[in-house]
Structure 1
Amino acid sequence: MLRLTPLERRSSIALATLFAARMLGLFLLTPIFAVAARTLAGGDDPVRVGLALGAYGLTQAVMQIPLGMASDRYGRRPVIVFGMLLFVAGGVICALTNDVDWVTVGRVIQGIGAVSAAITAWIADATRPEVRTRAMAMVGGSIGVSFALSLVLSPMLVGAFGLSGLFWAISLLGFVCLLIAMFFVPDVPRSEADIVQATAHDVLGHRDLLRLNFGVFCLHFILMSLFMVAPGLLGRLGGYDSATLWQVYLPVILASFVLMVPAVFYTETRKAHKPALEWAVLGLAVVLGALPWLTDSFWLVVLAFVAFFVAFNILEALQPSLVSRVAPPAYKGLALGFYNTAQSLGVFAGGVLGGILARSGGASMVFWAGAMLAAVWLYTARGFKEAH
């Protein structure tokens, strides 16, 4: 197997760390905000809370491709530094406010600094095509790790320092990313010969890429809407508050990772990517469809969440890999840009519509909506072609 050069390894590790720290900063609010927001003015309105939670997803979706193009023109480092300055500024606004609407403003500013595409492009600049997939896998893996950490750390931080302290921690993570981008990622030459002109039509005309984009939209819609009701449900059934929810989240996420590993190993060794995709989506639909009937039992809800995160973690790892497999080399970067945009739109829509559903029909309405969306996703996924 071809090895990464020292420069490739150093660049890949630095960029994966940067990406992980930024995603951790974005994720930290998700597991706890629906409960912790009650300390803010307007924080008892699920719709306003959902808007604050998902707002960064909308501006990220809008800015992802423009900032990726700006990084082509002006360089990766300046664009990422600019994006992280906005991220820190938005976090400071959130930390200084006692109003949920100003949290929305801060999250919007954070989302404007959408640098995922620029980071991905920088990895492409720093690596040879033969080892690029491994480098991209470091970044992809960092998303799952960041979310797992956020489930445990966010209740601890809110318990120790309050919601304002959580936002200061998020701003600190942004500052760490800023330092990594400025001082720790090596300069790498960019080969103009590697730049291939591709258009949106190329990606939007590729049916399997459209299926994957729809899939990541559904996955993050379901995730964000779920966390509009999960903290309150666990608190009601188990007597947990913002400071102690980590005691539920930690065993859930550890168990789901342990159970996920054999499935991922089987998928890779048997090249069973399409069956794994279908079974994982079916698992989401079944778990979400069952949850409305389980909401009187704490332990059944916990077991359902373990099953949910097994499927979620499989899909979070599998789908970016499938994008890189099915996208032609001529527009792989653009395909990942659209994929990231669809993910961000799912975050925004899940936060906002999850809040509306929670206000109008409670947790059961959120679960039913997620189950129906997963069923539609399963139908579209069945048309996906096997990729080897």
Structure 2
Amino acid sequence: MNDNKMTSLELRAAWGLGIIFSLRMLGMFMVLPVITTYGMALNGANEVLIGIAIGIYGFTQVIFQIPFGFISDRIGHKPLIIFGLIVFMFGSIVAALSNSIWGIILGRALQGSGVIAAAVMALLSDLTREQNRTKAMALIGISFGITFAIAMFLGPMITHSFGLNILFGNIAILALLSIIIAITIVPTTNTHILNREASIVKSSITKVFNNYRLLKINFGIMCLHILLMSNFIALPHVIESAKLSPKQHGYIYLITMLISFAMVVPFIIYAETKRHIRQVFISCVAVLCIAEIILCNARQHLWIIIIGMQLFFIVFNLMEAILPSLISKESPASYKGTAMSIYSTSQFIGTAIGGSLGGWIFGVAGAEAVFINNAIIALLWFAISCTMQEPPYVSSLRIVLSAAAIKDVNLEKYFRNQLGVTDVVVVREEQSIYVKVDTKQTTRHQLEQLANKFTTKLQ
């Protein structure tokens, strides 16, 4: 039997959780390209409140992200996922039944309160073996980009045809479908595997915050989502001023997203295989600044707007792949789960700031001022990114050992002496070791074989 082949239970877990994650993200993303245009017809709406409606989702995510992670470890990941989806669905219903901007703000706040990302990753960790976990998580990662592109097209189409209320109604239906999938398809497990690659560890939080290399990456994802949310405040207005009806906006978003996906792949391959992530990263931030300047000066010229959008979305999708990879590379052994949680929190801080700040600037000074502000933020990010060092090209691995092997005092030294291993942490209560290793020099399979040999010597 091929031990690296995913079992039927692992496939059910990966696909079930991947679909749940995708449907929830689809619901969130569909709102972005339309709320600025159609939201202005709501009672009491203005540009500032529209920005708050976009950003408050990120604000409530920030509040509940880490606490819900700890709660899910106590009550179980699957119950927390179902609870989060129910809250998300309730928020969508509140928004669907509302004709005022305040109802939309309340609904969006509730949507953001239904945090499930940490619980999804933790449950996936419980239901998959170490050697197949990367493949399972990759399925969820790939779904993010595909979902974003679909949402950019469907959001304008549904809203133009049926209205903003029906859009939120459809989002509630997607949430209900996710709940059904969680109950009927996603496997249930009573065994919780504490895995520091996917879970938050309280004792790790301070060390992650004190790691200046991780702080720079967290600052980067915050800036990226400030730019994203601010752009979605201004872009619908700018596209409409170029004589393109709101119904047609979805085609522009879809085309630019599809092109960006095609162009991103070669850059990811180059950055990872040639080991030039720093070079690609800094270039990306520079292009973001250029894209914002182009959008600022596009005025009513549709093709110039499209060029600016295209540059932005190419870099956005590339950064969404590079930044998590940097977190994985830079986080110390056994700290990846905590580092990823703080990274996600930083992302939602960016969402909250981007929506609120973009809405305020748009209301005071118009779309061009939003793009100028974004260019300044990108320039600041560029200055900080130039101080970044080339990351270590290592992967985080967790290897489970026998009870006898984990107690041996020579275990850590044994693994540290292996080719390509840069860091080792032994966690005896988990009966595991966490290793940072250059997989071009030593693979997981080779380390597992070494672990078996070490265990055999003790017998």
Which range, TM-score by smaller chain? over 0.9
**Residue 219 of structure 2 is aligned to residue 214 of structure 1:** yes
Query: Which of 349, 360, 366 pairs up with 1:356?
Result: 360
1:385 deviation in Å? 3.5
1:271 deviation in Å? 2.6
- Structure 1 CA distance for aligned equivalents of residues 140 and 186 of structure 2: 14
- Structure 1 CA distance for aligned equivalents of residues 338 and 10 of structure 2: 22
Amino acid at match of 1:176: L
1:181 deviation in Å? 1.7
Other-structure match for 2:298: 294
- Structure 2 CA distance for aligned equivalents of residues 9 and 380 of structure 1: 41
**Aligned with 2:242: secondary structure?**
helix
- Asked which structure has the greater CA Rg, the reply is 2
Other-structure match for 1:61: 62
Amino acid at match of 1:233: V
Query: Which of 271, 291, 311 pairs up with 1:267?
Result: 271
**Cα gap change, 1:19 to 1:331, in 2 (>3 Å):** same
- Structure 2 CA distance for aligned equivalents of residues 384 and 377 of structure 1: 15
**Cα gap change, 1:197 to 1:344, in 2 (>3 Å):** closer
Other-structure match for 1:256: 260
Provide TM-score, normalisation by structure 2. 0.81
Does the 8 A contact of 1:215 with 1:377 survive in 2?
yes
Does the 8 A contact of 1:82 with 1:113 survive in 2?
yes
Query: Which of 370, 378, 394 pairs up with 1:374?
Result: 378
**Aligned with 1:191: secondary structure?**
coil
Structure with more of its chain in helix, by fraction: 1
- Structure 1 CA distance for aligned equivalents of residues 273 and 313 of structure 2: 22
User: Superposed, which structure 2 residues align to 1:1-388 within 5 Å?
Assistant: 2-43=4-45, 45-188=46-189, 189-192=191-194, 198-241=203-246, 243-382=247-386, 383-388=388-393
**Aligned with 1:32: secondary structure?**
helix
Deviation string 1:217-236 (CA, Å, 9 cap, x unpaired) is 11111000001010111011
**Aligned with 2:335: secondary structure?**
helix
Does the 8 A contact of 1:159 with 1:244 survive in 2?
no
- Structure 2 CA distance for aligned equivalents of residues 133 and 330 of structure 1: 16
1:197 deviation in Å? 5.6
**Cα gap change, 1:62 to 1:191, in 2 (>3 Å):** same
1:193 deviation in Å? 7.6
Deviation string 1:27-54 (CA, Å, 9 cap, x unpaired) is 11001110011221122x1100010111
Structure with the larger RCO, 1 or 2 (CA within 8 Å, 6+ apart): 1
**Cα gap change, 1:192 to 1:333, in 2 (>3 Å):** closer
Amino acid at match of 2:230: S
**Aligned with 2:115: secondary structure?**
coil
- Structure 1 CA distance for aligned equivalents of residues 149 and 286 of structure 2: 22
**Aligned with 2:299: secondary structure?**
coil
1:133 deviation in Å? 2.8
Amino acid at match of 2:239: L
Amino acid at match of 2:22: A
- Structure 1 CA distance for aligned equivalents of residues 27 and 351 of structure 2: 15
1:199 deviation in Å? 3.0
- Structure 1 CA distance for aligned equivalents of residues 253 and 195 of structure 2: 47
**Cα gap change, 1:192 to 1:163, in 2 (>3 Å):** closer
- Structure 2 CA distance for aligned equivalents of residues 100 and 11 of structure 1: 38
**Structure 1 stretches of at least 4 aligned residues deviating more than 4 Å after TM superposition:** 192-197
1:112 deviation in Å? 1.1
**Aligned with 1:387: secondary structure?**
coil
Amino acid at match of 1:224: M
Deviation string 1:272-297 (CA, Å, 9 cap, x unpaired) is 22222111111101111232222231
- Between stretches 289-298 and 363-372, larger displacement belongs to 289-298
- Structure 2 CA distance for aligned equivalents of residues 29 and 22 of structure 1: 12
Does the 8 A contact of 2:294 with 2:304 survive in 1?
no
- Structure 2 CA distance for aligned equivalents of residues 296 and 309 of structure 1: 20
- Structure 2 CA distance for aligned equivalents of residues 24 and 84 of structure 1: 13
Report percent identity of matched pairs.
35
- Structure 1 CA distance for aligned equivalents of residues 17 and 342 of structure 2: 20
- Structure 2 CA distance for aligned equivalents of residues 167 and 336 of structure 1: 30
Does the 8 A contact of 2:295 with 2:309 survive in 1?
no
- Structure 1 CA distance for aligned equivalents of residues 22 and 50 of structure 2: 25
Does the 8 A contact of 1:198 with 1:334 survive in 2?
no
Kindly tell me the number of residue pairs found equivalent between the two proteins: 386
**Aligned with 1:238: secondary structure?**
coil
Deviation string 1:240-284 (CA, Å, 9 cap, x unpaired) is 12x221122222212222222221222232232222211111110
The answer for unaligned runs of 5 or more in structure 1 is none
Amino acid at match of 2:231: L
